[in-house]
Amino acid sequence: MCFHSLSSLIGFPSFVFHYLKIAPILVSMWLLTAVIFSLALSTQCFTGTRNLIAINEETWTDLLKGEWMVEFHAPWCPACKDLQKAWHAFADWSKDLNIKVAEVDVTANPGLSGRFLVTALPTIYHVKDGVFRTYSGPRDKNDFISYVEDKKWSLTDPVPSYKHPNSPQMTVVAWFFKLSMFVRDKHNYLVEEAGVPSWASYSMFAGITLALGCVLGFFIVCIIDRVFPTGPQPAKVDRKGGKKDQNKKNKKDEQKKRDDDKAQHSQEEKGSQEEDSSDEGVRSRKGGPSGDKKDAQKTSPKVEGKKKK
């Protein structure tokens, strides 16, 4: 009994020494296993999202080529968070369906939210060779796959031309959205970091807006007056047809003078005829034409000579 206890006491230090000798090896193996497991998890996560393409304001024109399904979301949107699992699973099928699956963060790309007129989140678009259609069906992986595989998108009316993201008017809307986000960020900076009162920040932006409006209105009025003048316009003389116009004008003046001369001549003839008629009337009152003949015979010298003979 004493011998057994003595041997156990002697063997315990050797066991401890042996354990301490192999302990670093065990720790290294455990660390290696943990690293391999973490790498496997990260690889699995990467595999689940590597087919999902992030679209921004510089790369959004890639949507105009090929077939796409694109989702607009925001980090603070609860419905967007609920959709992420199904959307990532749908992205894994993108190669099998021969399409590209993308997402857009509207908080980081406010210009795209204005360009696509995103009024609700999440918003999903189907794009086929630059033709955009709004997806309004169920939001599940199988429904997304069926929508693309069965070409159900052909039953949806495309976005009208005046709302097309690549149209000039939507480009202007995108710039206004970017400007509004810029103003909001500056306001938050002035109020939260610079310590400027809110009323002072609002007053400053209101003054800037009024000043820009006045300047812009002035230039618009000048352009309108220049393009559509309200006063009488000076007559433009055509160099090539100037001589022809002058000849026509001279001919018209000559014709007018001739007409005036004819009218004056006709008036003179009419006046002379009236005078002759008035003289004849006076003569008829005095005795008529027979009296005149008698007077003429009396005064004629030939008649007097005959009477004397």
Under DSSP, the state recorded for 149 is H
At position 200, the amino acid (one-letter code) is: A
Q: Which of 2, 80, 214, 222 is catalytic?
A: 80
Identify the bridge partners of residue 105 per DSSP, sorted by sequence position.
73
Distance CA 18, CA 20 (A): 5
For 55, list phi and psi in degrees, rounded to 5. -105, 135
**Is 80 a catalytic site residue?**
yes
**Is 77 a catalytic site residue?**
yes
DSSP for 52-69, please give it: EEE--TTTGGGGGSSEEE
For helices 141-149 and 78-91, angle between their N-to-C axes, nearest 10 degrees: 50
Distance CA 293, CA 306 (A): 17
For 251, list phi and psi in degrees, rounded to 5. -65, -40
Distance CA 197, CA 202 (A): 9
Residues 139 and 83 sit within 8 Å (Cβ to Cβ): yes
Q: Which of 2, 45, 77, 222 is catalytic?
A: 77
Structure tokens at 174: 């995108």
Rg (CA), the chain: 54
Residues 204 and 211 sit within 8 Å (Cβ to Cβ): no
Catalytic center residues: 77, 80
